[in-house]
Amino acid sequence: MPATEEEDAWVWNHIKAEAKRDAEAEPALASYLYSTILSHSSLDRSLSFHLGNKLCSSTLLSTLLYDLFLNAFSSDSNLRSAAIADLRAARERDPACVSYSHCLLNYKGFLSCQAHRVAHKLWTEARRPLALALSSRIADVFAVDIHPAAKIGKGILFDHATGVVVGETAVIGNNVSILHHVTLGGTGKVGGDRHPKIGDGVLIGAGATILGNVKIGEGAKIGAGSVVLIDVPPRTTAVGNPARLVGGKERPSKHEDVPGESMDHTSFISEWSDYII
Amino acid sequence: MPATEEEDAWVWNHIKAEAKRDAEAEPALASYLYSTILSHSSLDRSLSFHLGNKLCSSTLLSTLLYDLFLNAFSSDSNLRSAAIADLRAARERDPACVSYSHCLLNYKGFLSCQAHRVAHKLWTEARRPLALALSSRIADVFAVDIHPAAKIGKGILFDHATGVVVGETAVIGNNVSILHHVTLGGTGKVGGDRHPKIGDGVLIGAGATILGNVKIGEGAKIGAGSVVLIDVPPRTTAVGNPARLVGGKERPSKHEDVPGESMDHTSFISEWSDYII
Amino acid sequence: MPATEEEDAWVWNHIKAEAKRDAEAEPALASYLYSTILSHSSLDRSLSFHLGNKLCSSTLLSTLLYDLFLNAFSSDSNLRSAAIADLRAARERDPACVSYSHCLLNYKGFLSCQAHRVAHKLWTEARRPLALALSSRIADVFAVDIHPAAKIGKGILFDHATGVVVGETAVIGNNVSILHHVTLGGTGKVGGDRHPKIGDGVLIGAGATILGNVKIGEGAKIGAGSVVLIDVPPRTTAVGNPARLVGGKERPSKHEDVPGESMDHTSFISEWSDYII
Amino acid sequence: MPATEEEDAWVWNHIKAEAKRDAEAEPALASYLYSTILSHSSLDRSLSFHLGNKLCSSTLLSTLLYDLFLNAFSSDSNLRSAAIADLRAARERDPACVSYSHCLLNYKGFLSCQAHRVAHKLWTEARRPLALALSSRIADVFAVDIHPAAKIGKGILFDHATGVVVGETAVIGNNVSILHHVTLGGTGKVGGDRHPKIGDGVLIGAGATILGNVKIGEGAKIGAGSVVLIDVPPRTTAVGNPARLVGGKERPSKHEDVPGESMDHTSFISEWSDYII
Amino acid sequence: MPATEEEDAWVWNHIKAEAKRDAEAEPALASYLYSTILSHSSLDRSLSFHLGNKLCSSTLLSTLLYDLFLNAFSSDSNLRSAAIADLRAARERDPACVSYSHCLLNYKGFLSCQAHRVAHKLWTEARRPLALALSSRIADVFAVDIHPAAKIGKGILFDHATGVVVGETAVIGNNVSILHHVTLGGTGKVGGDRHPKIGDGVLIGAGATILGNVKIGEGAKIGAGSVVLIDVPPRTTAVGNPARLVGGKERPSKHEDVPGESMDHTSFISEWSDYII
Amino acid sequence: MPATEEEDAWVWNHIKAEAKRDAEAEPALASYLYSTILSHSSLDRSLSFHLGNKLCSSTLLSTLLYDLFLNAFSSDSNLRSAAIADLRAARERDPACVSYSHCLLNYKGFLSCQAHRVAHKLWTEARRPLALALSSRIADVFAVDIHPAAKIGKGILFDHATGVVVGETAVIGNNVSILHHVTLGGTGKVGGDRHPKIGDGVLIGAGATILGNVKIGEGAKIGAGSVVLIDVPPRTTAVGNPARLVGGKERPSKHEDVPGESMDHTSFISEWSDYII
């Protein structure tokens, strides 16, 4: 068994142990925990069951979606390893994430992202109407609107997630953390490559709007509520509406950490305040 | 058959042809496409079915809502022509909108708007508690919160739509494009005419907040993330928090295009940046 | 019967009278009004029924949730008096709130808040996995994401409510009004006390983002779209991105009213505009 | 308005008055009575709603069935007059039938029969797969299995109804009363006209099995539990397994009443006992 | 704690132990067992939950039914002791009943009988429309049609139960066993006391039809498929169509056992055959 | 590909062609036909989907049942070949069965039998509580009550099926036809081998009750409504209540055909009548 598979197995076993403990402590939740986690033989099945039941509607039945998800997860091991990486990301970066199972069951950002990956797989297999229908369900149920063509890396944390919009030609790297109400939007009615490219390790604060085919460099940080219409160099911070680089356009300040992982939302306050006022 | 009816028929036939093509290419989606589109004899019925099933709850049954929608669409041909105009708007202005049927089935902005028009009709017929209950379902299901008294023109694109809030005395003209998280809000606890009036052809960027009984002139443009508390003259652009007119309050720059249709979100970047910094 | 109980009874009787009147005027809504209000012997039961049916899913059945809510409301009279205070807050502060029953049935902010209070009670009773599962349902159904540990006072108006995010260590006082898309967020990945403390009578405008363990003083006002990273003294106003105090850091203007109750969103426009431009 | 229409209107008004009275007396049932009866403008709509919601499944949605029923009832006034005649039959012949609304809402025999008439209409319009799917739903939901080709008159009482089986070429006249577990079955694997023909005014007791293309004459009576493989002349009684005519094959006793209406199940006891023992 | 309560507690504990064992052995069933049994603090709650979810429909919600059942079970301890007696009856008399929990969860006869008792209670409290609506649900869901006015004792086994019909003025004693397709029917269209009275300890075989206000004496036995129109003296056996007493009308054979408990369906075969042929 | 697999493939292709034809002719049914048949790549998947959706409840979700069925069908090819044999049996023996797809979708006897086979497989694998829960769902939904331990051959036609009861130790051979309301029941409260053994090619008429560990020989025929408590030799006919052999106990008449296949229900009428009267 390769290292990754061992790791994946470790996480799944951990999830089952957590669910077991919680089911014993809380009978009112036991049925939920057994149906979503404890009755399943693998993370693939648990996720497929949970997503199928969350995303179904009267015209897209849970059995159809379950089948769709299970086929995708079974035939593409990248999907599972990405899910594991996302679980780890939530557990490590979000202090409110008290367990893997909490993320698996309750994080709409996590669930949206896993469902998106399946929609994206369908899109790349030229099953576009199905991919769009699935994305539409994610948008209805979780209020997370990611175009199925958008490319998303691993180790992603969509924290809170409500209101996230990611456009068709957007690309998101690995180990990125994106807060709620973040928009990676387009420039207008002309097609083609028109959405942001987010480098590895980027942190995008709540309510930030990034528009157009701009490049947010590796390890950059976008302040909450910013409106970004410019490229942001690696390891720099952009803040404000319109967003400007902290330290100035010419010689922006560089930070050492990987904000997508360190999740520091506010340490640039003083710097910023000084800069602006 | 008047020109408009021909046009309406053309769009409906187009939708059926698209759905037919997709059902043949994707068996997993065929059931969905037949139940929502291909089994229906008219756009009125298809929309009524789809909205009834999307918006129903355990206490507001789909059959009741279906009946309500079908009665409204059957008795008021303006509702259908407005729906057609909105379908065209999405198809023409949103490069991610690959087909009319994609919009009809999957765009929560489109569906919210059609359901709102029925709620508005109920409101004007003094069936207010029912209108409010319907609006509440739209807010729950699509996270789009439009007061049933708000007046909305034709050819509207609510793009992505999550988080849109439109207040009681707001008025939206024709051919307007409104991105997600846009608020047309009030001034406070006093009743009366207290919400924005949006002229024809206006474009409102993602996350913009417009508050109070202000007038956004024909063909104006509101930048993403702006907080607008002032009147915006026709064919000018307001940006920033608080929003100011590009080109200055006294002699703001005037643009030639109709931004609600041209959908240019970002060309004012350089101008703006120059203005601000 | 103590004064409060009389008051509570008055509101519940008022709600029943409103529902009775609406059921008679609108047969299409009568079934809904009977099932949610008129068939119940108390507000506790009506709310428990309504929340149970709104928040249930295929894996968390309505009967289980109904039981959970009813037990909580029956065993803790504070929950009911807080619900009454919130109903009054909506009725008094929101001119679009035409009746108590409208708020009870249709306001996702009101419903989210009542369900949160039950989740919070579970949290304090160390039933954390259940509290988190319930919060997750609130976030899915209403797009309102309040951590079950967050402490919330009475007389709260979450107006429109979509997109509200309230973090684990946040505290909200009494008589606070919070518009949609408001974030009371954390500072990053480190645990501990890291979210805002909102004083009594505060008004927070639409789309405002308040980050970190900052103190928003009693009766303060936060402008729409502001990004607040600083303490805001009592009865002052903070606006902008990043937010600054109206009147200046050193000697900010003080207002006399209680903005959380007076709901004045825009009277500071001129002041603000003068200050900035 | 012709006499029949007046009569139909009288029954419908009566039903509404009963439901109104019951809703006032029993709040727990009011929601049910409003949704099924009091919110509807006609018996057609009430029945279509009730049948649509009773017979729907996850793959045959209530909105589809509602539409199907409403179209049938609207385009064929015979269906409504037959329903009215059946309601009267239950009210007059069944002492346990305390009101028209009780029959409309709760009698699975009545509901099966109305749904069968629509299935039969579809069958005669060569929409056979749909007719069969509808019949299958009736069989699943009510345990009443009537082939859509079977012809059924008016003024029919299927009392209790569970387990009734009526074959493809069976014909049932007017004013017939049929108890539960009654079979009008075929002779075997050969097609063609192979099921019983039941004359007007016949009464068939519980659990009777009538097999083959036999003729049960007008006003005949079939004893409970009988197995009938022979023609039964008008106004005679057949009892036993195998069934024989009371009074003897050659000169059977003739009765004067119309058993399908007088519903006398047991007065032939002594006669029969005498005959047999 | 009185003896009965101890006994009741013993059965409930036994049920929980069985469910616990089965949940551990069969993860696929654990969710079901937790939601129906293991999450509940009493048999009353478990039964109310199970019946509410089994008998609900789109117009009679599970929460309403759950409430109705729980109120009934909480306010009338006879209902619980009768349920316990029925559980014991199934466990002792039916060799296919492998556990109490099997009966509680899966026996439609048991579930119909408990729901009937609540309907009967409503009937005696003059809540007749609700009682009839509940009986109608039992008839739809379980194909068991018991009029809410019928009086039923304790220690009842409805074995298999499908197709059982019990009329309005029927009375069933204690420790009775009734197989499927049994009818306790009326005499015709005249109201009043018109259904069978079944004594204690009676056994009624599959498919037996008993019509009219006849008296089936204590400890009598009715053969499968019999059609009974006569009184049957205590501890005698009636068989055939029409049913006659084994041993003859004048001096029928008397048996010593209590057939409702001993469940001997066939030992009278030779006797009977001798008698008839 | 072995002959059987070819045959199986032929039937599945035939089913798809029928469904395709019907979907084209009847748009209102197309969604149903696509979801149940046309979207599936195999009969296993189609059946699993259909059964999962038919048999699910709020506490046994369709995804769980779908998974259970699909695992069973995938791992045991006998289940599929038995299903094919049953489809053929219905098509050949029942003149009302107009197509294979009609049987697959609409015949509750066929569906009950396939679901029973899976329950039986679970029973033999010592997963008894799950097997019993599944059987209970079959009994609720289809009113067909087959103990999961009962052994059933191939080429079975349960015609109409409502009310069929088959006990724990019953055995049914191949090519048997069983009409509705047939009971294969036990002798009483003692466990052990206590139910009928039905030979190959037997035909059991509607409402027949066979009790005890009796042997119904190959090719025997049981008349409708019979109560059988004796062994019936091969190729003989038993009729009546109590059932006797046609032609007499000593030298019963022997027939040449296989009644389970020829389905001749009534040709023995004259013979029988002669015999009895």
Alpha-carbon gap, residue D151 to D171, rounded angstroms: 5
Burial A196-226 (b: 16+ CB within 10 A, else e): bbbbbbbbbbbbbbbbbbbbbbbbbbbbbbb
**How many other β-carbons are positioned within 10 Å of the β-carbon of residue C111?**
28
pLDDT over 80 at D95, yes or no: yes
Q: Which residues contact F188 (CB under 8 A, 6 or more apart)?
A: E262, E263, E264, E265, E266, E267, F194
Query: Any idea which of A2-6, C94-98, D143-147 has the lowest mean pLDDT?
Result: A2-6
Q: Is E20 touching A (CB cutoff 8 A)?
A: no
Considering only residues 79 to 118 of chain B, which have any Cβ-Cβ distance to chain A shorter than 8 Å? Answer: 92-96, 98, 102, 105-108
**pLDDT confidence of residue A277:** 37
- Does one domain contain both A110 and A165? no
Identify whether residues E24 and E137 lie together within a single domain. Answer: yes
**Which pair of structure tokens corresponds to residue B115?**
């359901």
What digits encode the pLDDT tens for the residues E209-246? 999 999 999 999 999 999 999 999 999 999 999 999 99
D146 residue type, one letter? I
Helix axes E43-55, C62-75, angle to 10 degrees: 130
Q: How does DSSP classify residue B27?
A: H
pTM: 0.95
At B274 the pLDDT is 47
Last residue of a domain, one of C129, C145, C161: C145
| C94 interaction partners in chain B (CB closer than 8 Å) | 189
* Tokens linked to A7: 């790791």
* E61 touches B at CB < 8 Å: yes
Q: How close, in Å, is residue F163 to chain C by CA atoms? A: 30
Q: Do C61 and F61 touch (CB under 8 A)?
A: no
- Say which CATH number the domain at A234 has: 2.160.10.10
In chain D, % of residues over pLDDT 70:
95
Helices (H), D152-268: 259-262
Bridge partner list, D128? none
Residue D14 in contact with residue D100, Cβ under 8 Å? Answer: yes
How high is the pLDDT of residue D271?
54
Question: In terms of C-beta density within 10 A (0-12 exposed, 13-18 middle, 19 or more buried), how is residue F115 classed?
Answer: buried
Tokens of F60: 């046994």
Whether C109 and C212 map to the same domain: the answer is: no
Mean pLDDT of C88-100: 95
Residue B254 falls in which region: left (phi positive, over 0), alpha (psi -120 to 50) or beta? beta
| pLDDT tens by residue, B241-255 | 999 999 998 899 999
Residues B166 and B214 in one domain: yes
Residue B249, phi-psi category: left (phi > 0), alpha (psi -120 to 50), beta (remainder): alpha
Separation CA B149–CA C271 (nearest Å): 32
Residues B254-268 have pLDDT tens digits of 998 899 988 887 766
Do D136 and D10 lie in a common domain? yes
Maximum separation of any 2 CA atoms in chain B, in Å: 60
**Nearest partner of E203 among E236, E171, E229, E231, judged by Cα:** E236
End-to-end CA distance of chain C: 58
Domain end point (choices D124, D145, D166): D145
Question: What is residue B90's predicted lDDT score, i.e. its pLDDT?
Answer: 97
List, for residues F224-253, the tens digit of each pLDDT value: 999 999 999 999 999 999 999 999 988 999
Decide if E187 and D53 are in contact by the 8 Å CB cutoff.
no
- What mean pLDDT comes out for the span A171-179? 98
Summarize pLDDT for A195-211 with one digit per residue, the tens. Answer: 999 999 999 999 999 99
Q: Which helix (H) or strand (E) holds F137?
A: helix F128-142
**Lowest model confidence (mean pLDDT) among A258-262, B31-35, E85-89:** A258-262
- The angle subtended at Cα B15 by Cα B9 and Cα B18, nearest 5°, is 140
Tell me the C-alpha distance between F83 and F156, whole Å. Answer: 9
Mean pLDDT, residues A106-113 taken together: 98
Question: In the prediction, which pLDDT does C5 show?
Answer: 83
Q: Are F196 and F170 in contact (CB under 8 A)?
A: yes
User: Which whole number is the average pLDDT over A8-12?
Assistant: 94
| Rounded Cα distance, D145 and D140, in Å | 8
pLDDT one-digit tens code per residue, F122-135: 999 999 999 999 99
**Residue A227: strand pairing partners:** A209
**Mean pLDDT on B46-60:** 97
Tell me, yes or no, whether B15 and B94 share the same domain.
Answer: yes
What is the rounded distance in angstroms from the CA atom of residue F186 to the CA atom of residue F166? 9
Between these two residues, C193 and A4, which has the higher pLDDT value? C193
Note the pLDDT of residue A264.
83
F60 at D interface, C-beta within 8 A? no
The pLDDT score that the predictor gives to residue F244 is 94
With bands split at pLDDT 50, 70 and 90, how would you rate the model's confidence at A275?
A: very low
What's the token pair of residue F12? 């599945």
What are the distances in angstroms from CA E108 to CA A252, C81, E90, E139, F139? Answer: 74, 43, 12, 11, 8
Helix F43-55 to helix A62-75 angle (10° resolution) is 130
Cα B132 to its chain centre, rounded Å, is 18
In Å, how far are D267, E147, F90 from E186, measured between CA atoms?
12, 12, 38
User: What is residue B269's predicted lDDT score, i.e. its pLDDT?
Assistant: 54
Q: What is the pLDDT of residue B272?
A: 53
Q: Which residues of A touch F67 (CB under 8 A)?
A: 45, 66
Q: What is the DSSP string of D214-245?
A: -EE-TT-EE-TT-EE-S-B-TT-EEETTTTEE
| Chain A contact probe: residue of D56, D58, D63, D64 with most A CBs at under 10 A | D58
User: Is the pLDDT assigned to residue C270 strictly greater than 70?
Assistant: no
The verdict on a CB contact (< 8 Å) between F52 and A63 is yes
Model pLDDT for residues F88-116, shown as the tens digit of each residue: 999 999 999 999 999 999 999 999 999 99
Of A1-15, B6-20, E247-261, F158-172, least confident by mean pLDDT is A1-15
Residues of D in contact with C38 (CB under 8 A): 27, 30-31
Kindly tell me if the per-residue pLDDT of C95 is higher than 80: yes
- For residues A34 and E34, the answer to whether their CB atoms sit within 8 Å is yes
- Residues E268, E270, E272, E277, Cα dihedral to 10°: 170
Same domain? For B57 and B116 the reply is yes
Q: Which of residues 166-185 of B touch A (CB under 8 A)?
A: 179-181
Tell whether D270 lies on the interface with F, counting CB pairs under 8 A.
no
**CA terminus-to-terminus distance, chain B:** 57
Mean of the per-residue pLDDT values for chain A? Answer: 93
Q: Does E269 touch chain C (CB under 8 A)?
A: no
Q: Does A139 share its domain with A176?
A: no
Contacts of F105 in chain D (CB under 8 A): 133, 136
Structure confidence by residue, pLDDT tens digits, C29-87: 999 999 999 999 999 999 999 999 999 999 999 999 999 999 999 999 999 999 999 99
**Would you say residue B277 has pLDDT above 50?**
no
Q: In whole angstroms, how far apart are CA E217 and each of E178, E197, E245?
A: 15, 8, 12
Determine the pLDDT at residue D256. Answer: 85
Helices (DSSP H) in chain C: which residue ranges?
3-25, 27-33, 43-55, 62-75, 77-93, 100-106, 108-124, 128-142, 259-262, 269-276
| B273 close contact with E: CB closer than 8 A | no
A189, pLDDT greater than 80: no
Query: With an 8 Å Cβ cutoff, are F185 and E206 in contact?
Result: yes
Out of D134-143, D259-268, E36-45, F11-20, which region has the weakest mean confidence (pLDDT)? D259-268
Mean pLDDT of E178-194: 92
Together in a domain, B23 and B116: yes
Q: Is F248 helix (H, G, I), strand (E, B) or coil?
A: coil
Element (H, E) at E211: strand E209-211
Helix C108-124 vs helix C77-93: crossing angle, to nearest 10:
160
- In the prediction, which pLDDT does E188 show? 81
Q: What is the pLDDT of residues A41-76, one digit of tens each?
A: 999 999 999 999 999 999 999 999 999 999 999 999
Q: What is the DSSP string of C117-142?
A: HHHHHHHHTT-HHHHHHHHHHHHHHH
Q: Which chains touch F (3 or more CB pairs under 8 A)?
A: A, B, C, D, E
Average pLDDT over residues C19-28: 96
Count the alpha carbons within 13 Å of F21 in the hemisphere toward its beta carbon.
13
* Residue written as token pair 């560990």: F213
Locate E237 and state its tokens.
Answer: 């056996």
Question: What is d(CA B21, CA B28) in angstroms, rounded to the nearest whole number?
Answer: 13
What does residue B51 show for φ and ψ, rounded to 5 degrees?
-65, -40
- In this prediction, residue B263 carries a pLDDT of 87
Q: Provide φ and ψ at E257, rounded to 5°.
A: -80, 175
Is the same domain home to F98 and F193?
A: no
Buried b (16+ CB within 10 A) or exposed e, D221-253: bbbbbbbbbbbbbebbbbbbbbbbbbbeeeebe
Task: In whole angstroms, give the CA distance from residue B205 to residue B219.
Answer: 13
Which residues of chain B neighbour A187 with C-beta distances below 8 Å? 264-266
What is d(CA F52, CA F115) in angstroms, rounded to the nearest whole number? 9
Residue that finishes a domain, picked among E130, E145, E160: E145
Gyration radius of chain C's alpha carbons: 19
Task: Tell me what pLDDT residue C3 has.
Answer: 62
Domain housing A272: 150-276
At A268 the pLDDT is 62
The CATH code of the domain that includes F81 is 1.10.3130.10
Please write the tens of the pLDDT for every residue from A132-156: 999 999 999 999 999 999 999 999 9
Is residue D61 within 8 angstroms of chain E, CB to CB?
no
pLDDT digits (tens, 9 = 90+) for D125-166: 999 999 999 999 999 999 999 999 999 999 999 999 999 999
> What's the pLDDT at F72?
98
Residue type, A38: L
Specify whether F88 is located in the same domain as F156.
no
- Cβ of residue C275 closer than 8 Å to a chain B Cβ: no
CA distance B254 to F6: 74
- Percent helix, percent strand, percent coil in chain E, to nearest 5: 45, 15, 40
CA atoms within 13 A on the CB side of B241: 31
Burial status of residue A98 (CB atoms within 10 A of its CB: 0-12, 13-18, 19 or more): middle
When divided into structural domains, chain E yields a total of 2
Listing from the earlier edge strand, what are the strands of the sheet with D209-211?
D145-146, D165-166, D183-185, D209-211, D227-228
C35 and C140 inside one domain? yes
Q: What's the rounded Cα separation, in Å, for the pair F199 and F233?
A: 10
Q: Reduce the DSSP state of residue C221 to 3 states and report it.
A: strand
